[in-house]
Each structure stands twice: as structure tokens, then as C-alpha cells.
Amino acid sequence: MTFMFPAIFLDRDGVIIENRPSYVRSWREVFIYPHSIDALVKIVSSPFKIVIVTNQSAVGRGIIPLEVAWDINQRLVKVIETAGGRVDGVFMCPHAPDEDCDCRKPKPGLFFQAAEDLSIDLKRSIMIGDAISDILAGQAAGIRRTALVLTGQGADQVQLSPPTGMEPYEVFDTLAEALSDLISP
């Protein structure tokens, strides 16, 4: 029997790095929230897998090549690791919204892929995002604890009426606050 790990799923833009209205198109445009790196370093020894799940429709829209999107992800992982943190996996949807794929949040495909690849128990996992679509995707995957951070789009998203059937979720100012409250390092 394969041991199943809990995971902390993190959206990238708006949670770890700053959102950009015209998309993050290169590494030069990446602004990492300092508190996010510190928070990830603090939980490095936790039993949770650390997994980034990110929609990058700039690829599907023809704004950046797939290779550039993966390069940005890998450089971000390197920064986190250099600081003393870890990332166990990065799962990215490169599709445009009109492609109707199964991996674009709010659909749960990225979570199912991560669960299969990394032996993750979704029911014991946590999803932290800055958009309602992040929360919906986590809940659709069977994740019971979901949280919205007020960085990125979060402050605007929390003002929206939740879609019908959406389960309650927790709200935190930052990723650091969310991780501090949701898990014990």
C-alpha cells in the first residue's frame, strides 16, 4: 500500500508572487512577496507536500511561450529552495479559458494530477489561493480546508457573493498568516 501524504496546494500569482494585470511575461516581472518565502522556509520540515498549482493562460493566449512559463516556475522554486524552503511539485495549466480543459481552475484536474504523481491524500490537504476559482478547484478535488489570502486578487474576491454550493473557506491577510494558522511547523 502506498503511503498518502497531505499537501499544501498554493496558487502562484497573488499568493507567492505579485499578480500583474498584463500577466507575468518574464522572470524580470516577478515580484516575490517576502513573507511568502519566509513562511515556506518555516514549514520546510512539515509532513505536508508543498505543491504549486497555477493557471497560466498567457501561454494559451499566445502571450508567452510554454518554455518561458516553465522557466519562471523553475526559477521561483530555485529561489524558495535557496532560501531554505522546498517545493515538491509544480502543476500548471497553460490553456486559455475557452479551451475548456480539465486542468484550468476552478476545475480540479491539476489537483488530481498532483495527487497521482505525488501520492497525495486530497482530503487531508489544504488549498491556499487568492481567487474564488482557487477555492472552488480545491473543494471540487475533495480538499476540506481551503483558504483565501487577501494579497493578489483576494481583497476583491472576498467581497464577491460565493457561488451556489460553495463550501465555507477561511480568510487570511497573507500566506504567512495562513500557514501559521493552518499547520504546525
- Which residues are designated catalytic? 11, 13
Write down the number of H helices and E strands in the chain. Answer: 7, 6
Sheet containing 89-93: give its strands across: 89-93, 49-55, 7-10, 126-129, 145-149, 170-172
Contact 158/172 with Cβ under 8 angstroms?
A: no
CA gyration radius, the chain: 15
Give the Cα separation of 67 and 61 in Å (integer).
Answer: 14
In 3D, which of 99, 97, 105 has the Cα closest to residue 137? 105
* Residue 184: all three cell numbers together: 504546525
